[in-house]
């Protein structure tokens, strides 16, 4: 737990520092793959727009298939061993791609299999990781921890996206997969070095009804709670639109705008710097205007600029993509920081794995649908038209927040028995809550 010493978490909390290093390394590698994998498909295997979108869909489909039971398993088991196993599996999978290419076995089918299996490992890792963080940080440290993790993840993604295009240009897109494998090795070593050990979950604490009963408990918690229900529905709708355009973004920039692979990675990285800015600003803005109002500002106010992306053209016109992507990235990451801190305080620790998995099942479950939607629209209507349709859905999704209790409050509640003051509350009572 937090050591109660002045200074930042990275300087005073060894276990958090290791978790931060491991997660940052993993995000860097995943970002390299996010550029390298589509480039392998497009430039090496000559895959079409729909086939490229299938790669993205395959990596997210496991959330639909196993997301809910994984949440129960994570609540039943220690989280760190799950994360270690998932990182090891990912290491092997991504190293297998360039090795298969050298053996003459590389194909779109193999890439789809790797994406599907790596996505399965990611379900276990992400669910365990989200539930593990509160066990090593005190509640007062969790907002800082979330901000640092999201901020460093965004910075790592920026570096990875830029490196992915550069590696593809200098050494070939296939060799970029070695970079991802190496980062999962770093993540594995960092997780191994964490000293904190979770106690075993007593069997007596498990809910009656077995796996199905515990899955149902998570579903009822999200469906029956207006705050969790709103954020989950919004996340599902937003991810559908976000992945709709992101799944065909490389195709749009290479074939629609006419950019070279190295330039594509650099531009995507430049747009991704918005995530660092969003993580930096999230806590400060939330403290100043309230967590509910900040959520609206980040998720609606900034997402409108997504409509700049389809306007991108060659030359100076690419700056329209950078500006739009920067704002979207800033809004998404800042919103995630606020949401993560809210969930970790609002949800009982014993249910956090199920909450994470249930929310992810619905939030991430629309991602493969969005990827398929982007690929289908791109094939039927053309890539630029598909970009217009999907980017318009990003700000439209935020209307779910406006029409919910979040649209009428200053702050999100801090416990399941609390309700925030309305927006008109006097300044001296801001941040306080009433029991319901």
Ordered per-residue pLDDT tens for the chain, 436 residues: 333 334 466 667 788 888 888 888 887 877 777 777 887 887 777 777 778 778 877 887 888 788 778 877 877 778 888 989 999 999 999 889 889 888 888 888 888 999 899 989 988 888 887 778 777 777 777 777 777 776 677 677 667 766 666 676 666 677 777 877 888 899 899 989 888 777 666 554 555 556 666 677 777 877 888 888 899 899 999 999 998 898 888 888 888 888 876 688 778 878 878 888 888 888 889 989 998 999 999 999 999 999 999 999 888 888 999 999 999 989 998 998 888 888 878 877 667 667 777 777 778 778 778 888 988 898 889 889 999 999 999 999 999 999 999 998 898 887 665 444 333 333 333 333 222 2
Task: Give me 85's structure tokens.
Answer: 């196993």
CA distance 56 to 118: 11
Which strand (E) or helix (H) includes residue 420? Answer: strand 418-420
Residues facing residue 29 across a β-bridge: none
C-beta atoms surrounding 264 within 10 Å: 27
**Integer Cα distance of 295 and 231 in angstroms:** 10
The structure's pTM equals 0.67
Domain boundaries, the chain: 9-197+209-423
CATH H superfamily, domain 9-197+209-423: MFS general substrate transporter like domains (1.20.1250.20)
Are 331 and 302 spatial neighbours (Cβ–Cβ below 8 Å)?
A: yes
Its sign, for the CA torsion 47, 59, 167, 264, is positive
- Specify the length of the chain in residues: 436
Give the count of alpha carbons within 13 A of 82, CB side only. 25
Q: Helix (H, G, I), strand (E, B), or coil: what is residue 287?
A: helix
Contact yes or no for 266/162 (Cβ under 8 A) = yes
């Amino acid at each position: 737990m937090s050591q109660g010493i002045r200074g930042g978490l990275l300087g005073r909390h060894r276990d958090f520092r290791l978790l931060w290093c491991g997660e940052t390394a993993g995000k860097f590698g995943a970002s390299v793959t996010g550029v390298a994998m589509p480039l392998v498909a497009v430039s090496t295997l000559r895959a079409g727009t729909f086939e490229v979108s299938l790669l993205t869909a395959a990596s997210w489909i496991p959330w639909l298939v196993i997301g809910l039971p994984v949440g129960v398993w994570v609540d039943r088991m220690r989280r760190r061993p799950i994360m270690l196993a998932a990182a090891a599996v990912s290491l092997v999978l991504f190293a297998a791609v360039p090795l298969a290419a050298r053996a003459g076995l590389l194909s779109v089918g193999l890439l789809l299999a790797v994406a599907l299996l790596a996505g399965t490992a990611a379900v276990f890792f992400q669910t365990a990781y989200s539930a593990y963080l509160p066990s090593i940080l005190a509640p007062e440290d969790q907002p800082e921890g979330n901000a640092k993790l999201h901020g460093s993840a965004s910075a790592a993604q920026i570096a990875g996206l830029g490196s992915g295009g550069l590696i593809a240009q200098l050494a070939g897109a296939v060799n970029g997969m070695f970079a991802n494998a190496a980062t999962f090795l770093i993540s594995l070593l960092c997780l191994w070095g964490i000293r904190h050990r979770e106690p075993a979950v007593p069997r007596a604490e498990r809910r009656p009804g077995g796996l199905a009963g515990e899955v149902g408990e998570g579903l009822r918690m999200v469906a029956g709670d207006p705050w969790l229900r709103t954020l989950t529905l919004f996340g599902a709708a937003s991810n559908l639109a976000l992945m709709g355009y992101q799944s065909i973004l490389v195709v749009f920039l290479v074939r629609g705008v006419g950019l070279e692979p190295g330039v594509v990675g650099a531009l995507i990285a430049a747009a991704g710097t918005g995530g660092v800015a969003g993580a930096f600003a999230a806590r400060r803005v939330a403290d100043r205007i309230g967590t509910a109002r900040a959520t609206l500002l980040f998720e609606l106010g900034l997402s409108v600029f997504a409509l700049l992306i389809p306007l991108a053209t060659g030359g100076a016109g690419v700056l329209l993509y950078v500006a739009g992507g920067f704002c979207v990235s800033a809004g998404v990451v800042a919103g995630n920081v606020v949401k993560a801190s809210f969930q970790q305080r609002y949800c009982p620790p014993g249910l956090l794995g199920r909450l994470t998995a249930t929310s992810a099942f619905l939030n991430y479950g629309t991602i493969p649908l969005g990827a398929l939607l982007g690929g289908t629209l791109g094939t039927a209507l053309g890539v630029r038209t598909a970009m217009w349709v999907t980017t318009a859905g990003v700000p439209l999704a935020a209307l779910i927040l406006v029409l919910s209790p979040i649209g009428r409050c200053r702050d999100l509640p801090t416990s399941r028995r609390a309700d925030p003051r309305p927006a008109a509350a006097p300044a001296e009572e801001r941040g306080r809550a009433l029991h319901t």
